[in-house]
Structure 1
């Protein structure tokens, strides 16, 4: 079993390495420097003691001479904290996510550390617990300490996904040696971003992720002969972690118990809680089809508003693509060239007076035009524009999206348990695995999935409708059971009828309670609702009553080109992404009726970039 899991992991990494690379010239104002040293040499499973006595393990790579021996001297340090086993990340995974030797040969030390209870490190894995977050700061302090003969005391951090989240949590500890971070595809709010979007359970990614951590934890460590008991202890720790954290958390969430609701458990595990304490320069990579499509721009937005030196490149990438970092087409060079520039300036201390002139705070890809744009803020020049749902959607005959005066209508959305199966959502919420093996393109046209729900669309637009940011769908709904789910897709319909799903959002009806103080408004219009998702805030609809339900549609940067139509489609499922809890399942199997009329207006509000903004 262990061999088969490892084989699957290696196959995944091989698929990652085979993703097509983007081709574009780097920024002509800057070019990456060459190597300073001919080689790199590693010391494996170096003990890193934590303040509670637990020993974590690190692989330390240092610059090496032609003789293969480490070069004497102190160097800036780059740290990666992973839950996916540093042996794999630095070995077969290096081709997929970037070889640390690139930096080591240019005068950095790279330290890769297994998070507590994963890989070769001791302790129990409790993903992003308060203790693990404390570990992150202590790891940086360890790497910066002058007790390390190779450390110059200046530290940067890099890595994707879990490794990106760990950077934010480490920076929240404000370790004095940390000078800059470079998180790829990190979360902000683990509950809303990925665990339970809209209050339904993510059954596409979360079990896959937990299985990946468990499988990589079974790779044998490289302890020396003087530590024969450590390998056995490591395996015992993995069993303890699976029985004390992984299995109970999954069971609680599935049954609709505490882990199914937002609260202190998820707040402890979310970077949102530490963003006010981050003050180091931060460079973010995000994906418009990523698992953390919602969270990464929110991290950028929050740090930017606080005045922290922050930049973000947001591209048309899923999670694996964003982790691998094929960002050349954005115009700033390859991922490692961009990281080198960031770290040379902020960690090594090399002057780079053109850095801010060359790279805008925000560089983003516009879906629908294929163009890259720059901006100073995530939300700045946009204006709120609302379209009202009008009339009744029938099979093959969509309802309309209008600026005003909607026609009365009612559309019943049946619970079709295969809705979402052949859409971009499937690729997105399985972290990009279908794309990695070459089958995702079979489901890029959303028209067939839209048959399973209600569809409303505009007439072909005369002028391009450009949007950037989060979207709100306020739908008037009723249901005979008082519960159910709305799965909303926003798409662009080409003249030939092809439907390009731009983004989506989800909302369990019983979780519709709105916290206005934490919601986002533009021109007085709601564009990003904040729902508490707590057990206490649950409020099922009165059966048959028509109530407003705000659906947070995840942010995007896109354009509806002239001649295309803006489409909103609504289903009652999004498989394999989301499923109701066992407790909610009976009510979720009932139909939901959408109401469209001046008395019961349903509408979608977009953050639109005015034509005058360019």
Structure 2
């Protein structure tokens, strides 16, 4: 979900300054409401910022659905700043949004419309034929979809906090629906659609629903939330919830089957607590493997908004602040002005949580083959690992002898909560919620030396379920010397995704092996590792009803309580795999 607000004025009203250049400071002029007609008659509207220097110059383009005035300035500098550095800057409303005509359906037209826009801009007299794109979230995907169409003038992109595979990187994660981000984003987009279509009652209901989002997600089938399915509104939220498999339907809207078509340099930006981190990592790995063009990565301790030293309840220090604007300027100078500004840049710069330092790396690890070692921590207890008051332990050795299993009850009516309040992204104090008996907590001894984790942690959990459908959630937690604990990363797996749609056999032991989200975290001496296991992370992900009813259609009548057991003995060595990265140069201070 992107917190940019759509414009409140009528989206079809003509910009009052259309066709006239106005000076806006630093020698920059802006021409608002510039119209471009597509072959099908659709008019795309943009604001054009011109640099102080006369003559043709490179152009950088952002295409977005939130109103041109916003221009992603929640994380980037104003377009005037970029124009003052010697660029034409174009901010365009995508089809059906803002002042652009046509029907908006997320992602559907962004490839062809983006290519046509780039070809039009390249023909304009102020452009020297060299174009780059920037933006995050949806604006990241408009870059990828346009790049996959291969317009000749597009020479570099900078997709931040986005995904190339909508199914597995944006809406679903290992079988579970990303409920909070998807419902919240649908509310945001549909409010704009309601205004465009002049559906005042629908707009009012959507505005009211946005104020009670937690209650909205907690009640009834989420595929049939009334305000999201009102007459006259687009159906995209229902479409997202009804296509629950990685089927060809999704590939029509993303680049998941066309990654090899992107053969231009890309600067990727991740946030360790971003909603779309999983999709961003998939995108980077795919392009790194399938594109011959350079792929650069910067990964910092941020959520989706803002990119700040403060995230959740943690201050990551002054070095966490990245001057994104100057980084982008150097990127565009290198590829669009041949300045060589990026020639000495490492392929990867990554901020290590806990240590609060930037690291220079030659690559980001894909699997354990890219790492020095995989450190294994085995789960153990005396049969009472429930909550952090229990006796769950993490250790380097497989437990010996017969060991009792640990059990917890998953109740759909009161599911185990997501790490952040209301699924808010970021590191939050976990002590209170991990004191509940509906979670299992396994904690290591106090560390005597640093554990440097870089990559995707993985769990192998031997477990049983009483119901035919179940989820397991694994949360990696950092425990400070004073006992406070903060979430680092999380993973969920739905049984239908892991074992197939035929359903689980009650009480049969299955090995749940799945990844957590990627992270870069240094667990310091004096701290402890903790792994917390539960049956949900609501409302970050949708709850599993435990019945044969599909989650998006389930209500309280369909919910089944589930007794889940976790085994950890020599025959069932449940464990946590931590990838230890070796290829790191340490560097004090932040990025320039």
Give the corresponding residue for 2:455.
469
For residues 84 and 199 of structure 1, the distance between their equivalents in structure 2, rounded to whole angstroms, comes to 29
**Structure-2 change in CA distance of 1:328 and 1:409 (3 Å):** closer
Give the corresponding residue for 2:446.
460
Give the corresponding residue for 1:413.
408
Deviation at 1:349, TM superposition (A): 2.8
Of 150, 161, 165, 2:126 maps to 150
Deviation at 1:373, TM superposition (A): 0.9
* 1:495 matched to 2:481: yes
For residues 364 and 560 of structure 2, the distance between their equivalents in structure 1, rounded to whole angstroms, comes to 35
Of 288, 294, 318, 1:304 maps to 288
Give the corresponding residue for 2:528.
565
After superposition, the C-alpha distances for 1:295-342 in whole angstroms (9 at most, x for unaligned) are 223333333344422211101100012499999956996211111111
Deviation at 1:394, TM superposition (A): 3.4
Deviation at 1:252, TM superposition (A): 5.3
- 2:408/2:564 contact within 8 Å kept: yes
After superposition, the C-alpha distances for 1:571-606 in whole angstroms (9 at most, x for unaligned) are 112122112376245466323221222222222212
Q: Give the alignment's TM-score, normalised by structure 1.
A: 0.76
- 1:304/1:377 contact within 8 Å kept: no
- 1:479/1:591 contact within 8 Å kept: yes
For residues 191 and 244 of structure 1, the distance between their equivalents in structure 2, rounded to whole angstroms, comes to 26
Give the corresponding residue for 2:36.
48
Deviation at 1:219, TM superposition (A): 6.8
Specify the SS of the correspondent of 2:256: helix
For residues 232 and 250 of structure 1, the distance between their equivalents in structure 2, rounded to whole angstroms, comes to 20
**Structure-2 change in CA distance of 1:247 and 1:481 (3 Å):** farther
User: Where in structure 2 are the equivalents of 1:142-181 lying within 5 Å?
Assistant: 142-145=120-123, 148-181=124-157
Give the corresponding residue for 1:19.
none
**Bigger mean CA deviation after superposition, 41-50 or 339-348:** 41-50
Deviation at 1:154, TM superposition (A): 0.7
For residues 415 and 574 of structure 2, the distance between their equivalents in structure 1, rounded to whole angstroms, comes to 22
* 1:580 matched to 2:580: no
Aligned length: 519
User: Where in structure 2 are the equivalents of 1:65-84 lying within 5 Å?
Assistant: 72-84=54-66
For residues 394 and 322 of structure 2, the distance between their equivalents in structure 1, rounded to whole angstroms, comes to 41
- 1:364/1:557 contact within 8 Å kept: yes
Specify the SS of the correspondent of 1:135: helix
For residues 257 and 107 of structure 2, the distance between their equivalents in structure 1, rounded to whole angstroms, comes to 12
**Runs of 4+ that moved beyond 6 A:** 5-9, 241-246, 323-328, 611-614
Give the corresponding residue for 1:522.
none
Give the corresponding residue for 1:114.
93
Give the corresponding residue for 1:199.
175
- 2:272/2:303 contact within 8 Å kept: yes
Deviation at 1:474, TM superposition (A): 1.7
Specify the SS of the correspondent of 1:300: helix
Give the corresponding residue for 1:314.
299
User: Where in structure 2 are the equivalents of 1:369-448 lying within 5 Å?
Assistant: 369-379=355-365, 380-391=370-381, 392=383, 393-395=385-387, 396-406=389-399, 408-416=403-411, 417-418=413-414, 421=417, 423-424=419-420, 426=421, 429-430=423-424, 432=425, 443-448=428-433
Give the corresponding residue for 1:264.
248
For residues 317 and 142 of structure 2, the distance between their equivalents in structure 1, rounded to whole angstroms, comes to 25
* 1:479 matched to 2:465: yes
For residues 367 and 450 of structure 1, the distance between their equivalents in structure 2, rounded to whole angstroms, comes to 24
* 1:274 matched to 2:258: yes
For residues 245 and 555 of structure 1, the distance between their equivalents in structure 2, rounded to whole angstroms, comes to 40
For residues 289 and 244 of structure 1, the distance between their equivalents in structure 2, rounded to whole angstroms, comes to 36
For residues 319 and 44 of structure 1, the distance between their equivalents in structure 2, rounded to whole angstroms, comes to 28
* 1:346 matched to 2:306: no
* 1:59 matched to 2:47: yes
- Tell me which protein shows more helix as a share of its residues: 1
Deviation at 1:495, TM superposition (A): 2.4
Structure 1 residue ranges without an equivalent (≥5): 10-35, 65-70, 221-230, 433-439, 514-536
After superposition, the C-alpha distances for 1:481-538 in whole angstroms (9 at most, x for unaligned) are 121211110112122221121100111122213xxxxxxxxxxxxxxxxxxxxxxx42
**Structure-2 change in CA distance of 1:60 and 1:281 (3 Å):** same
Give the corresponding residue for 1:604.
576
Deviation at 1:248, TM superposition (A): 3.4
Specify the SS of the correspondent of 2:571: coil
**Structure-2 change in CA distance of 1:49 and 1:344 (3 Å):** same
- 2:361/2:583 contact within 8 Å kept: no
Structure 2 residue ranges without an equivalent (≥5): 10-23, 207-227, 587-592
Deviation at 1:205, TM superposition (A): 0.9
**Bigger mean CA deviation after superposition, 41-50 or 453-462:** 41-50
RMSD of Structure 2 on Structure 1 (CA): 3.5
Q: Give the alignment's TM-score, normalised by structure 2.
A: 0.79
- 2:333/2:339 contact within 8 Å kept: yes
**Structure-2 change in CA distance of 1:194 and 1:287 (3 Å):** same
For residues 583 and 100 of structure 2, the distance between their equivalents in structure 1, rounded to whole angstroms, comes to 54
Deviation at 1:110, TM superposition (A): 1.1
For residues 540 and 202 of structure 1, the distance between their equivalents in structure 2, rounded to whole angstroms, comes to 22
Deviation at 1:99, TM superposition (A): 0.1
